[in-house]
Amino acid sequence: MIFSVAVMESEFSGCFPDDAEKSLRDLHADRERLVQRARVSPLVLAGFGAAGGVGVASAATTNPGGNYEPPMLGMAALVAVVILGYLVRRVIGVRFRSWGVAAITAAVGVVIVCMALYSVSLGLVASGHHWPVALTSAAAFVVAMAGAAASYRGAIRNLHSA
C-alpha cells in the first residue's frame, strides 16, 4: 500500500504548472484553428435549401383528402438532408457532440416553417391552385438555406465556447 502511493506521487512529480498551462494554451490554439477552418460551402447550404424546397413542392404531386398518401419525393428530401449532414461532418472534419441552443432552435425552426409551408401547399392543391406551390417552395428553399447556415453558425459558436 505504501509502495503504490509512492509510485503515484512519483508519476506526477514531472508535471509543472507551466507545462500544464502551455498544454492548455496549445489545445486552445488548436480549437481556434479548427473553428477558423470549419467552413461549409454555399453549395451545401443550397443543398439543404433545395431539400426543403423539394419537400414542400412535393405537395403538388399529391392528392389531398381521403386518399392522401405521403409523396415519395418528400421522403427523398429527408434522405438528402441526412446525407448532406453526413457530408458536412466528413468535409470539415468536425463532429458536433453538442449543437447548442442556437443551432437546435434554428434547425427546429426550419422544420416547423417547412411543415407549415407544406400544409399551405396541400391546401392550395386541394383547392385546385397548383401554381402557387412554386411560391411556397421558393420560400421553403430560402428558409431552409438560411436556417442551415444559422444552425451551422450556432454549432460552431458552441464548439468555440466549449
pLDDT, tens digit, for every residue of 25-34? 777 776 666 6
CB of 20 within 8 A of CB of 72?
A: no
More confident of the two residues 115 and 17:
115
Residue type, 122: L
Predicted local distance difference test score (pLDDT) of residue 114: 95
Q: Is the pLDDT of residue 39 over 80?
A: no
> Whole-model pTM above 0.85?
no
Predicted local distance difference test score (pLDDT) of residue 124: 94
Predicted local distance difference test score (pLDDT) of residue 162: 61
Predicted local distance difference test score (pLDDT) of residue 10: 47
Strands (E) in 15-148, as ranges, are none
pLDDT, tens digit, for every residue of 73-110? 888 888 998 898 888 777 766 666 667 788 889 989 99
CB of 48 within 8 A of CB of 145?
A: yes
The residues near 68 (Cβ < 8 Å, ≥ 6 apart) are 62
Q: Is the pLDDT of residue 125 over 60?
A: yes
Banded model confidence at residue 8, pLDDT cuts 50, 70, 90: very low
Q: Is the pLDDT of residue 4 over 50?
A: no
Eight-class DSSP state of 61 = G
Report helix, strand or coil for 25.
helix
CB of 90 within 8 A of CB of 30?
A: no
More confident of the two residues 159 and 124:
124
The segment with the largest mean pLDDT, out of 27-31, 55-59, 156-160, is 55-59
Q: What percent of the chain stands above pLDDT 90? A: 32
